[in-house]
C-alpha cells in the first residue's frame, strides 16, 4: 500500500501531526488503518484491510522513522535580547536606505518609481491553488515589476520533490548556483543600468558559510595534522590580530615538527595573548571567532 503515493503522503501527514503532540508507536499505524475513514479510502467499500504490528514497524522504517529521542523544535524566545534588538534596529536602518531605491505601490496598484527610468510592467501571474500529492518545492526569484525573473527561455527557477526519499533538500550550493543565474538574467535584462537588491530570509540554506570560514566549533585544543572544520574540506582561512595583520591558523609548511598542521585553540589564543595562565579544558561550548578577526568572544568552556 505504501507504493500508493497518495496513501503514503496521508500516512506521513498523520505521523507528523502525531509527533508534535506525543511519541509515535507502530500501534498508531495499526490503529489509523483500522479507522473507518482510512478503510473507505483503502478498500473503496470492499473487504476490510488490517495490518500486523510487524508490518507497521516495517512501514515506519520505510518512511524513514527511527527510534530515538525527540528533537527540540524552533525556539521563539530571546527576541528582545540586547544583541537581537541591536541587529533588528540595524536591519531597519539599512532597509530604509534600500527603500529609497524601490518601486512603491499605492492602494490602487499604481507605482511610484525612484529616481531613474521606469520599467515596463507586464501581466501579473495568478496564484494557483495547491493540489494533492507529494510536496514539490519551487524556488524562484520574484520582482514587483516583471513577476518571475526570466529572460527569454532562461529562468532562475528550481523544481524538486523535497524529502529524503525524493530529490533531497535545498542546500546552500543550490542557492549559490541559482543566485548566480539570477544575477546574470538581471544584468542581461537591465543592460547594466540598474542595481538589483536580492533579499533572503533566515532559512538554514541561506546561512551557509564558506568551506574555509572561521569557526571554532569542534576545534581541537592541541595541534592536529589532519583537522579541518568540514570532513575532507579545505584549511581554515587566516584570522587577524587586533592591528589588522594576518594570523595563520596553521603552522608553516617548513615547521620542523608539525609542517602545515592546524595549531589548535591553545596556540591560537596564546598568539593573541588571550590564553589564561590557568589553562582551559579541551572542548569549547558556544565558542566562536568574530569572523574574520580575533579576539574571540563568548569564551564558555566545559570539560569533555
- Alpha-carbon distance of 158 to 174, in angstroms, equals 9
Number of domains forming the structure of the chain: 4
Does residue 22 share a domain with residue 11?
yes
Cβ atoms < 10 Å from Cβ of 186? 20
Q: Does 83 map to a domain?
A: yes
In 3D, which of 200, 193, 149 has the Cα closest to residue 172? 200
Does residue 148 share a domain with residue 99?
no
Does residue 246 share a domain with residue 299?
yes
Does residue 232 share a domain with residue 203?
no
Helices (H) and strands (E) in the chain, counts: 7, 14
Structural domain harbouring 18: 5-62
Does residue 16 share a domain with residue 37?
yes
What grid cell was written down for 283?
Answer: 572542548
Q: Does 270 map to a domain?
A: yes
Q: Does 249 map to a domain?
A: yes
pLDDT tens for each residue of the chain, 304 residues long: 777 788 888 888 888 888 777 788 888 888 888 888 888 877 776 788 888 888 888 888 888 877 776 666 655 566 778 888 888 889 888 888 888 778 778 888 787 777 655 555 666 667 666 565 667 778 888 887 788 888 877 888 878 787 777 777 777 788 888 889 999 999 988 888 888 888 877 777 777 788 888 887 788 889 999 999 888 889 999 999 988 899 999 999 999 999 999 999 889 999 988 888 777 655 443 343 333 333 333 333 333 2
- Alpha-carbon distance of 136 to 127, in angstroms, equals 15
pLDDT of residue 290: 33
Q: Does 180 map to a domain?
A: yes
Does residue 204 share a domain with residue 214?
no
What grid cell was written down for 297?
Answer: 568572544
> Among 208, 236, 271, which residue terminates a domain?
208
> Among 37, 62, 87, which residue terminates a domain?
62
Q: Does 71 map to a domain?
A: no
> Among 208, 231, 263, which residue terminates a domain?
208
Q: Does 194 map to a domain?
A: yes
Q: Does 73 map to a domain?
A: no
- Alpha-carbon distance of 111 to 113, in angstroms, equals 6
What grid cell was written down for 274?
Answer: 588571550
Contact 197, 144 (CB under 8 A): no
Does residue 244 share a domain with residue 273?
yes
Amino acid at each position: 500500500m505504501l507504493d500508493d503515493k497518495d496513501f503514503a503522503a496521508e500516512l506521513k501527514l498523520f505521523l507528523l501531526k502525531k509527533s508534535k503532540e506525543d511519541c509515535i508507536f507502530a500501534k498508531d499505524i495499526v490503529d489509523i488503518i483500522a479507522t473507518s475513514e482510512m478503510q473507505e479510502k483503502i478498500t473503496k467499500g470492499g473487504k476490510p484491510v488490517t495490518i500486523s504490528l510487524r508490518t507497521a514497524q516495517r512501514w515506519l522504517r520505510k518512511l524513514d522513522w527511527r527510534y530515538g529521542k525527540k528533537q527540540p523544535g524552533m525556539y521563539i524566545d530571546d527576541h528582545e535580547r540586547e544583541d537581537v534588538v541591536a541587529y533588528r534596529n540595524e536591519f531597519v536602518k539599512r532597509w530604509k536606505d534600500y527603500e529609497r531605491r524601490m518601486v512603491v505601490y499605492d492602494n490602487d496598484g499604481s507605482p511610484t518609481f525612484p529616481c531613474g527610468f521606469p520599467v515596463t510592467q507586464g501581466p501579473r501571474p495568478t496564484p494557483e491553488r495547491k493540489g494533492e500529492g507529494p510536496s514539490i518545492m519551487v524556488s524562484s526569484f520574484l520582482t514587483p515589476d516583471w513577476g518571475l525573473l526570466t529572460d527569454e527561455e532562461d529562468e532562475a527557477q528550481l523544481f524538486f520533490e523535497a524529502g529524503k526519499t525524493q530529490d533531497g533538500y535545498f542546500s546552500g550550493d543550490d542557492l549559490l548556483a541559482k543566485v548566480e543565474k539570477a544575477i546574470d538574467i538581471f544584468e542581461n535584462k537591465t543592460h547594466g543600468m540598474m542595481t538589483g537588491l536580492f533579499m533572503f530570509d533566515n532559512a538554514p540554506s541561506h546561512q551557509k558559510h564558506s568551506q574555509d570560514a572561521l569557526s571554532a566549533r569542534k576545534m581541537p585544543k592541541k595541534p592536529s595534522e589532519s583537522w579541518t572544520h568540514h570532513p575532507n574540506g579545505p584549511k581554515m582561512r587566516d584570522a587577524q590580530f587586533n592591528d589588522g595583520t594576518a594570523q595563520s591558523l596553521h603552522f608553516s609548511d617548513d615547521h620542523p615538527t608539525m609542517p602545515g598542521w592546524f595549531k589548535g585553540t591553545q596556540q591560537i589564543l596564546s598568539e593573541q595573548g588571550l590564553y589564561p595562565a590557568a589553562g582551559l579544558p579541551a572542548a569549547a561550548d558556544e565558542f566562536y571567532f568574530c569572523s574574520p578577526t580575533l579576539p574571540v568572544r563568548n569564551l564558555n568552556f566545559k570539560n569533555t
